[in-house]
Amino acid sequence: MGREKGGFWVGLAAAVFYPSTALMARRRDEGVEHIPKTGGALVVMNHVSHLDPVYDAVFTHRQGRVPHFLAKHSLWKVPVLGSIIRGAKQIPVYRGTADAQQSLRAAHEALEQGLVVVIYPEGTITRDPDGWPMASRTGVARLALAHDVPIIPAARWGTRDLYDHYRKKFRPFPRKTVVTRVGPPVDLAAHRARPQSIAVLREVTDVLMGEVKDLLADIRQETAPDGFYSKKV
């Protein structure tokens, strides 16, 4: 089966991202069989570095799929970058609105169209000093419960060794290793049968991010902490 076609802008991004990511880090991809070759899918991931979308885009594209990321709508106004992400049909998130469902409308449409949507439920790179996931937004649960598509947990580790935003450190040398591990789709049938409520959305969000956290623990060969890190404001 051939690669999903992404058009000019996706091809341009691939031409830039493939060699640049390979230069900075080796790749080890595990569980790739869980990424469906066709049809809609929601890939739920952790977020540790601003480099994550670049590496996750290459990972998804290597599986023959075009990734569609959720990103702050303000990025669409940035010269050049706005043209690229608009041309590559990425998904604007309108934060600060009263209706969370409305803020994710483009993501709902993408899943309905059979596309792969990649989401970082934490909303930003984790503030946990050890890099474990933070308590996450419930938008991922709204998407997951509204669509009968595979909900796929995945974790990636190694990008923070390259660029640590909070410590302002960029360390491309020596060459690092970025590991991505994908788990099997999460069965949410029992949750879909329940009336949707804030409690259910929170429970589903924590179930999904719990799977991501377990995958991350496997990559790191460490014991994950209980619960999720709460960002101190």
Q: What is the pLDDT of residues 129-145, one digit of tens each?
A: 999 999 999 999 999 99
Establish if 226 belongs to a structural domain: no
- How many domains does the chain fold into? 1
For residue 14, give the 3-state DSSP assignment. helix
Residue 98's domain comprises: 7-220
Q: CATH number of the domain at 162, please.
A: 3.40.1130.10
User: Are 216 and 133 spatial neighbours (Cβ–Cβ below 8 Å)?
Assistant: yes
Establish if 98 belongs to a structural domain: yes
User: Are 42 and 91 spatial neighbours (Cβ–Cβ below 8 Å)?
Assistant: no
User: Are 185 and 34 spatial neighbours (Cβ–Cβ below 8 Å)?
Assistant: yes
Average pLDDT over residues 16-40: 96
Question: Rounded to the nearest 5°, which phi and psi values hold at 57?
Answer: -65, -45
User: Are 50 and 167 spatial neighbours (Cβ–Cβ below 8 Å)?
Assistant: no
Q: Which two tokens stand for residue 145?
A: 């419960």
Establish if 130 belongs to a structural domain: yes
Establish if 31 belongs to a structural domain: yes
Q: How far apart are CA 55 and CA 27, in angstroms?
A: 9
Establish if 233 belongs to a structural domain: no
Q: Which two tokens stand for residue 45?
A: 């991931």
Name the packing angle between helices 7-24 and 52-62 (round to 10°). 110
Average pLDDT over residues 136-158: 96
DSSP-derived secondary structure letter, 229: B
Pick the range with the lowest mean pLDDT from 42-56, 63-77, 177-191: 63-77
Is residue 99 predicted with pLDDT exceeding 50?
Answer: no
User: Are 100 and 138 spatial neighbours (Cβ–Cβ below 8 Å)?
Assistant: yes
- Res 102: pLDDT: 56
Establish if 46 belongs to a structural domain: yes
Contacts of 153 (CB under 8 A, 6+ apart): 44, 45, 182, 183, 186, 208, 211, 212, 215
Q: What is the pLDDT of residues 32-50, one digit of tens each?
A: 999 999 999 999 999 999 9
Establish if 231 belongs to a structural domain: no
Establish if 232 belongs to a structural domain: no
Average pLDDT over residues 5-14: 86
Q: How far apart are CA 170 and CA 66, in angstroms?
A: 28
